[in-house]
Structure 1
């Protein structure tokens, strides 16, 4: 049976003298189904919100108020490296094998974990970078200065490019610090959706390629963390008042798209929460949905991880109490995208180096059954080759109009060739007469 894995991290000292919780553990791996259980732990980590990233081989955790990132090997279950940087790291995320980091000085740092190459931008925000979001083609950085910058990932990683260039676009409609940022799964320029949450009690839906504000949502309290469902049809918001809010983007009254009856400039008031967490949980620091969007999990300042039921009146159930502020939740997809290689050992970043060694581990068999291997090892003629030959024979011939055009072109070429031959013959005769 497929089992979803949820990674969680804590930040800060224990809240109480609880001997049931292991000491020095900073990151947990939980099995969500068929039953909740702790599968693995990683020690000596204190990661603030938006500072945990998980790949298929490693776990990356920025450390609170420090310029360090701890790297843990999922395969060996131990800490692999402690990576220092020049500035304090406030948030991080993964874009493939590239770790994107936001600093307290408002910069972006990109670290290629396979080569050790590091790219650093100038200060792109006037305050600290508070959260990051990535797509296959873009990096979005949000800050406490209330602005969001959109960067081209290819431009940032281009070899020999000037690292001093600025972002492609700036989104600046908020009036307070950005608390969270998420992007939708679409890569079409017309449907590039991102959602930002701010302390000004609003969430704004953007087209981050054009900079257009698609809709502004106003909440009774400041939204702290947000998440889109896997199809980007609904937005989940956890606010300072402990409420979990559900906003359907394409419901009976669509907020987006051609069926929306209101102008994008009209602010939508969101009043009724789906449910409210108990006071002993504390404010939420992170919100995630499982892979099929049927369950919502929130982490809280008083050590609890809550699971919200979407069909049972929205009352949350407590899944775990880690006895310290839980700051991050990250789901690992149980059906990840196929990649031909993976990072077995990370290479520490080096900003001054100009020559790099690509270190990776190939996945699968090198003598795999590719098309050439199948045709080489088949008895007689391969069935696919026979099928392609039969299809080419039975394919309809070109029309009479195309044939006549080809014949006409052939006649013109023949006339040109005959003319060249006659000219060559006359030239040879002329030269022979002069020689005699």
Structure 2
């Protein structure tokens, strides 16, 4: 059965509520199929835009404090309290829920890798605290808004780079607003045509092409907006106001459809403000909901949930533009609302990893070793693999040589150490640190190959050369082992010859000294001579066989090499 849940938070307890725990601050509510409260997290008072929810944790920036509370959704309790040097005004998750962005009071943004603890800071580009953060679907860019009416666009890859020479300044600035930024959101497209929408206290909403820094459309609003939500298909956005009303602003209404196709990107209309029709605004005056502080859209985009200063969480039918019901009444202003992805779908793709424990921030991992841009030696990720790793795309030429699976994945997914890897390791350990023996010179080190020509050649040639080098290294190790074994066989053969000759001499001396044996001179001489001749013949046969075997082994080893 399909289940949809949303998370709500309050800033402080303003009124007594006997049905809710006294120190509860974060509430997990089920929206459908049954509207009911499912879980409560205690000891939290988060301000607007100060809540971020992942599949495993909840991050809540405390209102007026330099502290972030981290809650484990699986355990249902607080996991860790993370202090900072200044107040945190906004948070957002990026990079597949592995990086937490924090908007600070000084006007900078901190990037915290929650699986490694690495903490990186951007430059101080805002003149006021960063009150809103938005991340694009691919996590290549993120936007920051502030009360200084500025919106900065950042490259997340550049900010997280280990190189100290990489610029951690915004790549562009959007500065058309004339008032504090109240809300900011990115579209759902993964293409270069994705947009971002911002609202400000100057009673305007602007649609941006944030990749190029161009304002596509400006909307004049009837009142000061407080928050906004974007349709899942990027067809419209919904603005909330201080009087508790909401307004639907469509990109394809009757007025804009009178213009040429794709009016949103028509350069002739980019500087022409649009005033939404008054009929697109709706409210529920009889419910005494209060000012709207937060809002969120359901997965299918048909229902909007709004949080109000009265503590009520209201549900709205967007198709009919009518109030449906009050889902919950919380003991304080509802500062944050966030719908979670629905559960209950069949054949859902399982994530490949899961973060069990959040690692506290560490400033020593900000840059690489010795400022060279390399990964620090003490850098490590604390995560758990929950499924098989995805296989990268392999060309037809590579698939025949590697069997469609990389060596790393083969070793990682094998129940134990692969046999071929163990054999190569044993051969390498046997020849480790050995010099030339019995005139056999040690083979040259494979690191002596020159890589100048490799860099000049194409990618395919480099891969073929790398494969040939790897095979040549394996043959070198086999040749070393075979040389050592041949040397040992030669030593054993010489020892066997000496030992057999010594035994014969001792046996002869013992026979001559024994006086109890009565035998004629002719018979003893003939028998001794025949015995010596047979022994010599056997020695020659043994020596011939061993020498032939040595020659055969040397010939096979030379052919393999």
CA contact (8 A) 1:169 1:211 kept: yes
Q: 1:142 to 1:24 in 2, by over 3 A?
A: same
CA contact (8 A) 1:274 1:314 kept: no
Q: For residue 317 of structure 2, what is the aligned residue in structure 1?
A: 309
Q: 1:163 to 1:68 in 2, by over 3 A?
A: farther
Q: 1:313 to 1:141 in 2, by over 3 A?
A: closer
Kindly indicate which of the two structures has a greater share of residues assigned to strand: 1
Q: For residue 318 of structure 1, what is the aligned residue in structure 2?
A: 326
The structure 1 residue matched to 2:281, chosen from 274, 293, 296, is: 274
CA distance in 1, matches of 2:190, 2:364: 34
Deviation, structure 1 residue 241: 2.8
Q: For residue 194 of structure 2, what is the aligned residue in structure 1?
A: 192
Q: 1:76 to 1:147 in 2, by over 3 A?
A: same
CA distance in 2, matches of 1:169, 1:85: 28
Corresponding residue SS for 2:148? coil
Kindly indicate which of the two structures has a greater share of residues assigned to helix: 2
For residues 244-281 of structure 1, the C-alpha deviation after alignment (integer angstroms, 9 at most, x for no partner) is: 10011123344798342861111111233431143722
Is residue 306 of structure 2 the alignment partner of residue 298 of structure 1?
yes
Q: For residue 415 of structure 1, what is the aligned residue in structure 2?
A: none
Alignment of 1:67-86 (within 5 A): 67-86=66-85
Between 251-260 and 195-204, the greater mean CA deviation after superposition: 251-260
Alignment of 1:221-260 (within 5 A): 221-254=223-256, 258-260=261-263
Deviation, structure 1 residue 317: 2.0
Is residue 343 of structure 2 the alignment partner of residue 344 of structure 1?
no
Unpaired stretches in structure 2, ≥5 consecutive residues: 366-375, 392-402, 415-561
Q: For residue 288 of structure 1, what is the aligned residue in structure 2?
A: 296
Name which one, 1 or 2, has greater alpha-carbon Rg. Answer: 2
Q: For residue 20 of structure 1, what is the aligned residue in structure 2?
A: 19
Alignment of 1:143-182 (within 5 A): 143-162=146-165, 165-182=168-185
CA distance in 1, matches of 2:36, 2:322: 23
Corresponding residue SS for 2:363? coil
Q: 1:222 to 1:163 in 2, by over 3 A?
A: farther
Deviation, structure 1 residue 337: 6.6
CA contact (8 A) 2:112 2:118 kept: yes
Unpaired stretches in structure 1, ≥5 consecutive residues: 377-436
Alignment of 1:401-412 (within 5 A): none
For residues 332-352 of structure 1, the C-alpha deviation after alignment (integer angstroms, 9 at most, x for no partner) is: 112687531111101000112
CA distance in 1, matches of 2:125, 2:321: 44
Q: TM-score, normalized by length of structure 2?
A: 0.63
- RMSD, aligned CA: 2.3
Corresponding residue SS for 2:382? coil
Deviation, structure 1 residue 162: 4.0
Corresponding residue SS for 2:228? strand
For residues 403-428 of structure 1, the C-alpha deviation after alignment (integer angstroms, 9 at most, x for no partner) is: xxxxxxxxxxxxxxxxxxxxxxxxxx
Q: For residue 271 of structure 2, what is the aligned residue in structure 1?
A: 265
Alignment of 1:5-154 (within 5 A): 5-15=5-15, 17-95=16-94, 96=96, 97-135=98-136, 136-154=139-157
Alignment of 1:345-360 (within 5 A): 345-353=357-365, 354=376, 355-360=378-383
Deviation, structure 1 residue 219: 1.1
Corresponding residue SS for 1:308? strand
CA distance in 2, matches of 1:139, 1:331: 20
Deviation, structure 1 residue 231: 0.7
Deviation, structure 1 residue 209: 0.6
Name the structure, 1 or 2, with higher relative contact order (CA <8 Å, separation 6+): 1
Between 311-320 and 31-40, the greater mean CA deviation after superposition: 311-320
Corresponding residue SS for 1:50? strand
CA distance in 1, matches of 2:158, 2:25: 35
Q: For residue 421 of structure 1, what is the aligned residue in structure 2?
A: none
CA distance in 1, matches of 2:31, 2:44: 22
CA distance in 1, matches of 2:71, 2:168: 33
Aligned length: 370
Deviation, structure 1 residue 316: 4.5
CA distance in 1, matches of 2:335, 2:271: 34
Corresponding residue SS for 1:71? strand
